[in-house]
Amino acid sequence: MKRNIALLAVLCFAIAGIVGVAAAQDAQVAGTWTLSSEGRGGNMQNSTLTLKQDGQKLTGTLAGGRGGDAPLTGTISGNNITFSVTRTTQRGEFKTDYTGTVSGDSMKGTVTMGQNTRDWTATKGAPPASGAGGSGN
């Protein structure tokens, strides 16, 4: 009986350890990223994505495009990332939702703006100082 209880206790600790390791394996995305997506007329446009990470919670800004810097909120779970940006425009608030996956120093996914969707990619690091590639979406 004591042996079974001891075995059960060891099994519980092992499961707790596995769950703890799995939770600790969320991608680390804090920092500055260059986000690229297709803009009007099919031109690729770059924006600066700055992320802060507190566990699975993401906050930060998306700079570029109309309206300058916009705050964002989101989550990271494993290598799956989601975040939303809400900009205030002359026509009211405009929400943009990003979903994607993280692989090391790169991300890719889909951005939804109203009823439109486009692909996006991001690489770790700030955009070139020359400003090549456009001003964002």
Residue matched to tokens 């939770």: 23
pLDDT tens digits, 83-101: 999 888 888 888 999 999 9
Looking at this protein, which amino acid is placed at residue 95? K
- Do the beta carbons of residue 89 and residue 96 sit within 8 Å? no
Which has more confidence, 105 or 68? 105
Instruction: Determine the average pLDDT of the residues in 94-113.
Output: 96
- Is a pLDDT exceeding 70 seen at residue 136? no
Domains of the chain: 31-124 (2.40.128.120)
Distance CA 6, CA 27 (A): 35
- pLDDT at residue number 132: 43
- Is a pLDDT exceeding 60 seen at residue 26? yes
- pLDDT at residue number 91: 86
Count the Cβ atoms, other than its own, within 10 Å of residue 107. 23
